[in-house]
Amino acid sequence: MDKIARIDMGAPGGPKVTVGGLGEYAGLGGRAMTSLVVAAEVHPLAHPLGAENKLVIAPGMLSGTTGSMTGRLSVGCKSPLTGTIKESNAGGQAAQVLARLGYAAVILEGKPEGDDLYKIIINKDGIQVIVDNSLKLLDNYPLVEKLRAEYGDKVAYMSIGSAGERKLLAASIACTDPELRPTRHCGRGGVGAVMGAKRVKAIIIDDAGMKMRPPKDPDKYRDANRKFVEGLRKHPVTGEGLPAYGTNVLTNVLNEAGGYPSYNFKDGQFAGSNNLSGETQAALEIQRGGLATHGCHRGCVIQCSGVYNDKDGHYLTKQPEYETVWSHGGHCGIDDLDTVAHLDFLDDNIGVDTIEMGVTIGVAMDAGIIEFGDKAGAIRLVEEVQKGTPLGRVLGSGAAITGKVFGVERVPVVKDQALPAYDPRPIQGIGVTYATTTQGADHTAGYAIATNILKVGGDVDPLKPEGQVELSRNLQIATAAIDSTGMCLFIAFAIMDQPETFQALLDMLGSFHGITMTGDDVVALGKKVLSAERDFNTRAGFTKHHDRLPRFFYNEPVAPHNQVFSVPDEELDTLFNW
Amino acid sequence: MNITVKLFATFRTGRFVTQECEYPEGTTVASIVETLGIPENDLGIMLVNSRHVALNHKLSNGDTLAIFPLLGGG
Ligand code: SF4
């Protein structure tokens, strides 16, 4: 990964590709690359859908190597949903393939005039940008189908559906999985709308003729990778729970702990949770001839994903994640997995974030547009998004916009991004992350659930405000670093509990680059990324007053713990003090 | 006293999902875990009426005890 490609979509005479060296970005990958480029090069007051914004696509530092778990891709820009900096992370094949072609980043810049739609082909011979108006308004599944007829099955596809083309604020960028299904999405923050604004419909990445990226010290790298894999296999979360049940194993945990937000955050438990649980889902998948264990990219040894078939045994969608099952399930008062899976398919196909879309439907239910629990109604609302009707455009622009348009007070967003599947009142640590992260409400930015609820990597009482800021700070720093390596964040469960597995990760990073990596280096990397992101947000006009939860979390206690969020503002304001 | 025990994920295999049972006064979480033949090493979290508890926690009549292996997700 010794080059950066810049594609000026607005160049006079048509898109222009420039390939250059790494310069000041040498050694960066993933989120470190996307955030440092955006912070340095995008005007903080730029309109996110304008020519001044950039869409930075970056494989992780170890992507494209023989290292396991290294296939995560970062996409960064100024977010049209939040107005903050954004890094949205996905699995799928794209990161590995792009890295093996030698690109540390591909940056889409500018914006073309007119209506033409483009596809970008990246292979060993270089980069081509081609007008292809036959792709207009195709959704992701038919789009990839059509592209496969031309470019085959040995490539990775990144694409936007109709939502991205319409520049809806919940629009995602899809990445294909090993079976070429467009199921792995850079979901959060409307990154698909930025790609749509640049009129790029699809990126076809073909690494034919390329080799694995060679480590500086191959023997040491192989050895470290072996220890790392052993560690992941040995830990009960990464070796047993995630492969068998996927992330949705959390439905029962959060429900039992009283932190499962239902009916648009009016309750902390949901009577229909057992029908939605990971245990039920895995059994159903196996019974219908799907898969309860599946990797989103080659080289993943945890394999938390799966394949969800319909009742006739035909492929419907990939295994919906916990957050998806929650947002379309309990949050909407729906307790039916087939409905959730159908909605997951629609979201992937149209190209919208499943968290934002599901939370929005719940807000629309609170507004009385349809009733809570209305399964057919929920599907109909997402189909409105697909059709691009005025109602569909409102819903596809997320929970904050929908709440405003329909006069709803209880709108669970921070910096206009929808809260995920964990109530911050009985789980105060995750509330700190939601409030303070540079990304808008995001659980992955500092997953305090691990320590508050699951008791992995420590134990901090979820019901008390004490210790939560420090916890969230440390998690946010570690996450920013892991998101830069290309490693899937789920490795954190094993490396937090097993020092030898953390050491193996350090040795992988070190031996690959021919240096020695320490825990302090990882912390320094995480801080560097967060500081750059925070600085961008400050220049974009964000202050400490934006680092707060919506007022109802401070005013409305939620059952069963009957608590409000009580971490003091002054403490939240110290999160980035280092 | 009457206790509802709920099991999750791999702990259900060969056991049950939910069971209501009579236990003597002073029963602890540890003794129920032992009766169920769940090795202590496999334990993740235990919740009584939605609150985390330790193994030595003494149960009261009407409690719901949920027992999970170590789990993660996100
Ligand atoms: S653990 Fe899950 S999300 Fe992570 S890389 Fe593997 S399949 Fe993808």
**Tens of pLDDT along A177-199?**
999 999 999 999 999 999 999 99
Strand partners, B43: B69
- Residue A241: inside a domain: no
The C-alpha atoms of residue A29 and residue A60 are separated, in whole angstroms, by: 4
Count of domains forming chain B: 1
Residue A109 has pLDDT above 90, yes or no: yes
CA angle at residue A189 from A277 to A259, to 5 degrees? 35
The rounded distance, in Å, linking the Cα atoms of A551 and A555 is 6
A434 plus A364 within the same structural domain: no
The model's pLDDT over A432-476, given as tens digits with 9 standing for 90+, comes to: 999 999 999 999 999 999 999 999 989 999 999 999 999 999 999
Regarding whether A471 and A554 lie in a shared domain, the answer is yes
Instruction: Give per-residue burial for A413-451: e unless 16+ CB within 10 Å, then b.
Output: bbbbbbbbbbbbbbbbbbbbbbbbbbbbbbbbbbbbbbb
The SS3 call for residue A317 is strand
Q: Is the CB–ligand 1 distance for residue A118 below 6 Å?
A: no
CB distance B71 to B47 below 8 Å: no
> How many whole angstroms from A484 Cα to the centroid of ligand 1?
16
The pick from A229, A302, A487 for probing ligand 1's pocket by mutation, whose C-beta has the most ligand atoms within 8 angstroms, reads: A302
Contact (CB<8Å) B44/A278 = no
Q: To probe the interface with A, which of B42, B48, B50 has the most A CB atoms within 10 Å?
A: B50
Put simply, whether A249 touches B (Cβ < 8 Å) is yes
CATH number at residue A129: 3.60.9.10
| A245/B9 touch (CB, cutoff 8 Å), yes or no | yes
Residue A314 covered by a domain: yes
Task: Give the model's pLDDT for residue A111.
Answer: 98
> What does pLDDT average to over chain A?
97
A33, two tokens: 């690359």
Q: 0.95 cut: is pTM over it?
A: yes
Q: Cβ neighbours of residue A201 under 8 Å, at least 6 residues apart?
A: A117, A118, A119, A132, A135, A136, A138, A143, A159, A160, A165
Q: Do B8 and A561 touch (CB under 8 A)?
A: no
Residue A457, pLDDT score: 87
Same-domain check for residues A46 and A67: yes
Both A410 and A467 in one domain: the answer is: no
pLDDT digits (tens, 9 = 90+) for A10-26: 999 999 999 999 999 99
pLDDT in tens, A56-95: 999 999 999 999 999 999 999 999 999 999 999 999 999 9
Residue A218 Ramachandran class (φ > 0 left, ψ -120 to 50 alpha, else beta)? alpha
Convert the pLDDT of each residue in B20-51 to its tens digit: 999 999 999 999 999 999 999 999 999 999 99
We report the CATH number of the domain holding residue B17 as 3.10.20.30
Q: Is the pLDDT of residue A543 over 90?
A: yes
Q: Is residue A126 pLDDT above 90, yes or no?
A: yes
Number of H helices, E strands in chain A: 25, 17
At A166 the pLDDT is 98
- Asked if the structure places residue B52 within a domain, the reply is yes
Give the model confidence (pLDDT) of A297-348 as tens digits. Answer: 999 999 999 999 999 999 999 999 999 999 999 999 999 999 999 999 999 9
Please give the pLDDT value at position A285.
97
Domain ranges, residue B61: 2-69
Tokens of A171: 């629009």
For the segment A407-422, the average pLDDT, to the nearest whole number, is 98
Q: How far is A175 from A34, CA to CA, in rounded Å?
A: 17
d(CA A477, CA A438): 12
Is A513 a member of any domain? yes
ipTM for the assembly: 0.97
Distance CA A164, CA A350 (A): 8
Residues of B with Cβ-Cβ distance to A434 under 8 angstroms:
none
In a domain, A236, yes or no: no
Confidence of residue A288 (pLDDT cuts 50, 70, 90): very high
Instruction: Give the per-residue pLDDT at B73.
Output: 87
Q: Give the best residue of A238, A253, A496 to mutate against chain B (max B CB count within 10 A).
A: A253
**d(C-alpha A355, C-alpha A347), whole Å:** 10
3-state secondary structure of B35: helix
pLDDT of residue A420: 98
CB A157 within 8 A of CB A338: no
Written in H, E and C, the secondary structure of A236-292 is: HHHHHHHHHHCHHHHHHHHHHCCCCCECCCCECCCCCHHHHCHHHHHHHHHHCCCEE
**Total structural domains within chain A:** 3
- The residue out of A399, A418, A437 marking a domain boundary is A418
Asked, for residue B74, whether it belongs to a domain, the answer is no
> Quick check: A95 and A59 in contact, CB under 8 A?
yes
- Asked if the structure places residue B18 within a domain, the reply is yes
Report CA torsion sign: A81, A160, A447, A421.
positive
Give the whole-angstrom CA distance, residue A577 versus residue A559. Answer: 34
Determine contact, residues A553/A431, Cβ cutoff 8 Å.
Answer: yes
- Note the pLDDT of residue B74: 80
Domain that holds residue A374: 248-418
What mean pLDDT is predicted for residues A263-281? Answer: 98
Residue A400 in contact with ligand 1 by CB distance below 6 A: no
